[in-house]
Amino acid sequence: MPYLVHTAHAQFVALWLSTVGWILIIVTMGMVEWRVWEVSGPSVISSGLAWVGVWRVCFYSNAPILSENEIMFCQKIGVFESFTPPEIIAAQVLMLVAVILGLMGNVSVVYGLRNIYFGSNQLKRIRLALSAGGAVFILTGVSTLIPVFWNLSSVARNQTIVFPPAFRMPSAPENQHIGPGIGVGILASFLVVCSGLIFLSYRLPVGSTCVSKVKPEDKRMNNDGTDNPAFTRADE
């Protein structure tokens, strides 16, 4: 029977893809540049740009009311605030779910690959671990894509957010466009979904039910079960 390690080269590459994708999901969740607002006219936003992320909204300002020097001014966006739009609420929840699912998927496939590379004979556990990890990675990608495309749709429709006065944001932007956060989120989703499909495609070698251990042949016995004369003592 062929070594199991020879059947898991693609899955080993998929592990790297899923790990990179999971890290990018964490990066996406922390980025503030999901939606870029363009503003003009009298405003404390000196750069003319404001960034709306999942957890906060930020802009550069040199207004005396904030600071004598140009600094980045940020305000947190709470999930239970009345002004928070549904696409940002969904992003806060689903991105956290995606991070947890990605961690669970990595743990599952690492367990399966460990059994493969260390010669375990638990073939059912290997197949179950890789299949479960693949399914979880697909769910991870879906959990990331939903908020990413929802916010992408909001940018396309130039949807506004009625921020409270303390945020010092205009009631509506002149224009808004996609920020790097959405692009990173799409890439992360693509990586984890591809890795999930690779793990789901894993198949054990044909006819393998268990990993048999090869025992050395006893040369003292002939094929018919009788003693081999070559090993009998001459004085017998």
Which has the closest alpha carbon to 21: 148, 114, 127, 118? 148
Q: Which long-range contacts (CB under 8 A, 24 or more apart) does 157-162 make?
A: 159/85, 161/52, 161/83, 161/85, 161/88, 162/83
Task: Tell me what pLDDT residue 43 has.
Answer: 67
Which has the closest alpha carbon to 182: 152, 146, 140, 157? 152
Residues of the chain falling short of pLDDT 50: 1-2, 209-216, 231, 234-235
Task: Tell me what pLDDT residue 178 has.
Answer: 92
Cα distance between residue 72 and residue 127, in whole Å: 50
Query: Domain extents for the chain?
Result: 4-31+83-203
pLDDT 10s digits, 45-55: 777 888 999 99
CATH of region 4-31+83-203 = 1.20.140.150
pLDDT 10s digits, 139-155: 999 999 999 999 999 99
Which segments within the chain are labelled E, that is strand?
A: 35-38, 49-52, 56-61, 71-76, 175-178
Task: Tell me what pLDDT residue 126 has.
Answer: 84
Task: Tell me what pLDDT residue 70 has.
Answer: 59
Beta-carbon contacts of residue 106 (< 8 Å; ≥ 6 apart):
15, 18, 19, 22, 133
